[in-house]
Amino acid sequence: MKNIIKITTVIITVVLTSCLSNEEKKVKAEEEGNALISIKSKLLKGAGDALKAMVKKP
């Protein structure tokens, strides 16, 4: 009986720990995704500014 309780406790601990790590992975991925979007928007803004500058110099 004691072994069943120990095994159940270990299983619950593993499940809870894996859930937390998945949540942490989601948060990290979201932060990295936001950084990538920020970089892309800066690149697009720079390209747009360059095109505007080329159009103004006829």
Residues 10-49 as b or e (16 or more Cβ within 10 Å = b): eeeeeeeeeeeeeeeeeeeeeeeeeeeeeeeeeeeeeeee
Domain ranges of the chain: 1-58
The single-letter code of the amino acid at 47 is A
Name the token pair of 38.
Answer: 């920020």
- Is 0.85 surpassed by the pTM of this model? no
Question: pLDDT (tens digit, 0 to 9) for every residue of the chain, 58 residues total?
Answer: 778 888 888 888 777 666 667 777 778 778 888 888 888 888 888 888 888 888 876 5
